[in-house]
Amino acid sequence: MSASARAASVNAYLDELAGQRRLSPHTVSNYRHDLETLCALIGELPSDSGFAAIETHHIRRFVAILHTRGLGGRSLGRTLSAWRGFYRWLVQRGMTTLNPVDSVRPPKSPKGLPKALSPDEANRLLAAQSENLLEIRDQAIFELFYSSGLRLAELAALDIGCLEDLLAGEVRVLGKRNKLRIVPVGSQAREAVALWAGQRACLAAADETALFVGQRGRRLGVRMIQLRLLRRGRAQGLPARVHPHMLRHSFASHVLQSSGDLRAVQEMLGHASIASTQVYTHLDFQHLAAVYDQAHPRAKRKPE
C-alpha cells in the first residue's frame, strides 16, 4: 500500500469522526497526529506495507520507538487508543481481519510526587486576617485541613455533633471503605473552630446538622470549599494553585519531617497500606536535599 493510499484511509476515518460522531476539531486533530505517526512508522518498514500487514509485534516495536523519542506512558496510551479505534474501523470495513493493537498496552508512567506547601507557605496561607463570618468559617476549615490531614469529603461531612470531641483535641471521621479513624486536632485549629462554632448559628438553618454551612444555611459543598481555598491561596500570593488535598499532603510531609514516624502518619491519613504513605518519605528526602544544598560547604562549591 502506498503512502497516499494510507493517507486516504486515515482521511476517510477522520471525516467520519468529525461528521458522524461529531468529535471536536481538537480531538480530530489529535487523532490525525497519532495516525500520521502510525503511517510514518509503517513507511519506515523495509517493505512498503499496508495496514493489513501490520501485526502485534510491529505495534510493540512502534511503541518502543516512540518511547525512546521521549513519549511517556500517558502520551503513548492516547496514541494507542487512536490506533486501536482506527484499526477497529478498518476491521468493520473488511480492510483487515485483525486488530493488532488490541493486546498492546503502554508502559506505566512514573507516579509524580504529591505537591505540598512548605511550612512557610502553609503559615502564610493561614495567617490571613478574618474580617467577616465567611472568612471565620474558612479559617476554621483550612486550619482543620492542615492540622489533621482530613480528606475533602471527610471534612465536608462533619456534623455539629463532633464539636465536643473536636474542641477536646480529636476528630472522628469515616474514611474510605467506611473505615473509622480518630485524628488529633492542634490547638490553633481548635481555636479557629471554636470561634466559628460561636457564630455558626448566624448562618445555619435551624434543622441543619452540618458543622460547616454556606450562606443559604445548608451544608457547605466540596466545590465551594475548593473555590474558597483557591481564592485564599491567590490572595496570599502563593505560587501554586492551592487545593484541599495539597493541605493534606502538607500535613503529612511536615509531620513526617518533624517526627520520622511513618506508621503514625499512615494512621492519621487513614491509608490502608503503608505503601501509600511511603511517598511522603520522598518529599522528606527532597526537603533534606534542599537543606544540604543550601548548608553544606561542598554542595555550594562550584568546580573550577
Domain boundaries, the chain: 3-92, 119-295
CATH of domain 119-295: 1.10.443.10
- Active-site position among 57, 61, 105, 176: 176
Q: Which residues lie across from 171 on neighbouring strands?
A: 183
Residue 271 is among the residues annotated as catalytic for this protein: yes
pLDDT at 161: 94
The answer to which of 121-125, 176-180, 205-209 has the lowest mean pLDDT is 176-180
Residue 87 is among the residues annotated as catalytic for this protein: no
| Average of per-residue pLDDT values in the chain | 84
- Active-site position among 218, 243, 245, 287: 245
**Residue 180 scores a pLDDT above 90:** no
Q: Looking at the domain 3-92, which fold is it?
A: DNA polymerase; domain 1 (1.10.150)
Q: Could you tell me the pLDDT band of residue 296, with boundaries at 50, 70 and 90?
A: very low
Residue 245 is among the residues annotated as catalytic for this protein: yes
**Residue 193 scores a pLDDT above 80:** yes
- Active-site position among 232, 248, 249, 254: 248
Q: Could you tell me the pLDDT band of residue 298, with boundaries at 50, 70 and 90?
A: very low
**Section 205-232 average pLDDT:** 96
Categorise residue 118: left if φ over 0, alpha if ψ from -120 to 50, beta otherwise: beta
**Residue 106 scores a pLDDT above 90:** no
User: What cell was used for 6?
Assistant: 494510507
Is 136 within 8 Å of 196 (Cβ atoms)? yes
**Residue 280 scores a pLDDT above 60:** no
**Section 244-249 average pLDDT:** 87
**Section 39-66 average pLDDT:** 88
CB atoms within 10 A of CB 119: 14
